[in-house]
Chain A
Amino acid sequence: NAGVTQTPKFQVLKTGQSMTLQCAQDMNHEYMSWYRQDPGMGLRLIHYSVGAGITDQGEVPNGYNVSRSTTEDFPLRLLSAAPSQTSVYFCASSYSGQGAYEQYFGPGTRLTVT
């Protein structure tokens, strides 16, 4: 099993450009999520999904879109990049249901917006 994979590992964008961060998992997990990590602020939830066709906003959704057309994939789209979106982005997945389950994290995408 590859677990959770993310591409690209590094990306530099100019202000106003758009791009898609890719995330895929091969563990048949229903739940998938996107976080951003900034120094001193911990991981903050951007968007999440509890299954194919179902997505919802997290704590910091502005400027980002998601879709979930398959169980395996959960791409994150930056519509018009801003310097405030410079961050490390992590995708995570887990089982879903009654109770709480550990989340498995991808290796991260380091994004710089100039």
Chain B
Amino acid sequence: GQNIDQPTEMTATEGAIVQINCTYQTSGFNGLFWYQQHAGEAPTFLSYNVLDGLEEKGRFSSFLSRSKGYSYLLLKELQMKDSASYLCAVTGYGQNFVFGPGTRLSVLP
């Protein structure tokens, strides 16, 4: 079977750093994706990891450890507009995504 776990909700302060964790158990592994979804909108792509290590993209970084079935998304210099849900998704064989339940992040002033 396939299982992906994320914290349900997180709260952080504007200007701070927050780390959103994702653990997964899947049959096969072809890559891990992070998406951002604002309330009432479609998910939008943030990052992709297929090899172990850190991928950095501006204020956002994503880390992957395949042996531990673990990833995190790191958001630096938080802004109010970062208040959204963050979705972790894993591809096993082929192109099908399996999504986690999402983490709702609230950024407070």
Contact = CB atoms under 8 A, between A and B. Distances in A.
Interface of A: 31, 33, 35, 40-45, 48, 50, 58, 90, 94, 96, 99-108
Contacts of B94: 50
Contacts of B41: 107-108
18 contacts: A31-B95, A33-B97, A35-B99, A40-B101, A42-B99, A42-B102, A43-B89, A45-B96, A48-B96, A50-B95, A100-B31, A100-B50, A100-B91, A100-B95, A102-B45, A104-B45, A106-B42, A108-B42
Contact of A99 (B4, B50, B98): B50
A43 B42 contact: no
B48 A102 contact: yes
A105 B44 contact: yes
A42 B95 contact: no
Nearest to B43: A105
B59 to A, nearest CB: 19
Interface residues of B, number: 24
Contacts of A58: 96
Nearest to A56: B96
B45 A33 contact: no
A94 B95 contact: yes
Contacts of A108: 41-42
B102 A102 contact: no
B42 to A, nearest CB: 4
A44 B100 CA distance: 9
Contact of B87 (A42, A44, A94, A101): A42
B42 A90 contact: yes
A103 B95 CA distance: 9
B43 A33 contact: no
Contacts of A104: 45
Contact of B31 (A99, A105, A107): A99
Interface in B61-92: 87, 89, 91
Given A42-B101, A99-B31, A100-B95, 11 more contacts: A33-B97, A41-B101, A43-B43, A43-B89, A43-B97, A90-B43, A94-B95, A100-B30, A100-B31, A103-B95, A103-B97
